[in-house]
Amino acid sequence: MVTQVFKTEYQRERERRDLELYRDYEQLISVEGQSKTLVTEHLMKKYNIHSAGTVYAIRKRVEGRLQQKDA
């Protein structure tokens, strides 16, 4: 039996934003010689995030969700 997960509109929006940020980060980092610090600062400005730690937490959360899907 499949259990349905109920999510609020805010949760769905946050997941979409997080996935977009993750994909942007992966695309920007794929360029050889790219500075991870400057990429993180760019994403902080783009997504109005005030902490580099938040960007890191979002990336790890999305990675976990993607790995869970693949399993």
Q: Which amino acid is at 35?
A: S
Domains contained in the chain, number: 1
Does the residue 56 lie in any domain? Answer: yes
Residue pLDDT, tens place only, 6-59: 999 999 999 999 999 999 999 999 999 999 999 999 999 999 999 999 999 999
Q: Is the pLDDT of residue 1 over 80?
A: no
Q: Which pTM was predicted?
A: 0.88
Does the residue 1 lie in any domain? Answer: no
Q: How far is it, in rounded angstroms, from Cα 56 to Cα 26?
A: 12
Q: Which domain holds residue 59?
A: 9-70
